[in-house]
Structure 1
Amino acid sequence: MLWLLVLALVLLIIIWAIAAYNKFVRYQENISNAMSQISAQVESRWDALSNLMTATQNYQTYESQTLTKIIEERSSVSNQASVKDITQDDQQFNSALGVISALAEQYPDLKASNVYLQTMQSVDKYENQVRQSRMIYNDTVTRFNRSIKTFPNSLIAGPFNFNEHPYFQNTPGKKEMPQWSK
């Protein structure tokens, strides 16, 4: 009888360990999915900016060349990207956006054009979607990190190399959504 009780206890521990491991795998897949969502939104945001670049090419050769260089040099973001990769991409994006904003200030007819206004609205939309995707990512990371830190889950997380994922932090100087002149 004692032998059956020990066997049942061992089976329960094995079942719990398998369930915990599978939960960690699900959480990591959710994190990868959340990063994929960010990647898709970042790509759409760059596409909108590329469209805006096309609209501005007629106004100033230097700014156009600068934008082309920034867009060509930007790194592609995927679901395998890190928080650092996304932050670097944001810096490149904001640099390109700064060039376009300065150009729009120099050329009021560009700033008033329908193409410019519609594209800036698209950039705003994608910027908001990137922000929302980051919040979803951070929520997913919170669930995962909390799960691997709590006992007895930590007994499974450590040996199977389930490690904490980093969070997106507020970018200095970017407390508010960008507002474009309309």
Structure 2
Amino acid sequence: MTFWIVLGVIALIAVWLISVYNGLVGGRNQAQTAWRQIDVQLKRRHDLLPNLVQVVKDAMGYEQETLTKVIQARNAAAAASGPAQAGPAEAALTQATRGLLGLVESYPQLKANDNIKQLQEELTGTENRIAFARQFYNDSVASYNTRRQSFPAVLAAASLGFGPIELFNMPEAEKEVPKIALR
């Protein structure tokens, strides 16, 4: 009789561990998939910016400093990997892009250029998709981290190899309202 009780307890613990493990795997996979969606949108953004810079550069031969900042920020953001590196790099790229768009607004001949208008619209749409993807990613990560830290999963999560996942935080610089100086 004692043998069957011990066997039953072991079976319950095994079922519980399997359930915890599968739930954590599902949460981690959802967070990783959400990050891939952010990565796709960031790549799209990184691919659009050189086109915008080139069109602006072709339309005017000055203001090279702004164009250089955008390209440098774009290259740094494209080289970043994971939420910890991507967050600050993308914030710097956003600031540089705002400077470029402010420059476009300052010059009527640029503002009227159809290629620039189209690229701005595509960039705006991409920025919106990035914001939605970031929200979904952070929701997925929060759900996973909560599941990982909740009782009774907290008893087994670390020993099963499930560590915390980092949120994709927006640095303070990106939250600031852009300042555009018109001439």
Please indicate, yes or no, whether the TM-score normalized by the shorter chain is above 0.5.
yes
State how 1:8-87 maps to structure 2 within 5 Å.
Answer: 8-58=8-58, 59-61=60-62, 62=64, 63-77=66-80, 81=82, 83-87=83-87
1:26-71 Cα offsets, whole Å, 9 max, x none, are 2111111111111111111122222211211121352444444443
Residues 177 and 49 of structure 1: CA distance in aligned 2, closer, same or farther (over 3 Å): farther
Secondary structure of the equivalent of 2:172?
Answer: coil
The 8 Å contact of residues 104 and 110 in structure 1, kept in 2 or not, is answered as yes
Cα distance in 2 for residues equivalent to 1:26 and 1:8: 27
Cα distance in 2 for residues equivalent to 1:139 and 1:68: 31
Cα distance in 2 for residues equivalent to 1:74 and 1:60: 25
Q: Aligned residues, how many? A: 176
Q: Give percent identity, aligned residues only.
A: 26
Cα distance in 2 for residues equivalent to 1:65 and 1:171: 22
Cα distance in 2 for residues equivalent to 1:87 and 1:160: 29
TM-score (norm 1): 0.83
Residues 60 and 74 of structure 1: CA distance in aligned 2, closer, same or farther (over 3 Å): farther
The root-mean-square deviation of aligned C-alpha atoms, in Å, is: 2.5
Cα distance in 1 for residues equivalent to 2:118 and 2:132: 21
Cα distance in 2 for residues equivalent to 1:35 and 1:95: 22
Secondary structure of the equivalent of 2:24?
Answer: helix
Unaligned runs of at least 5 residues, structure 2:
none
Cα distance in 2 for residues equivalent to 1:177 and 1:133: 22
Deviation at 1:93, TM superposition (A): 1.5
1:105 partner letter? E
Cα distance in 1 for residues equivalent to 2:160 and 2:78: 31
The 8 Å contact of residues 27 and 144 in structure 1, kept in 2 or not, is answered as yes
The 8 Å contact of residues 41 and 130 in structure 2, kept in 1 or not, is answered as yes
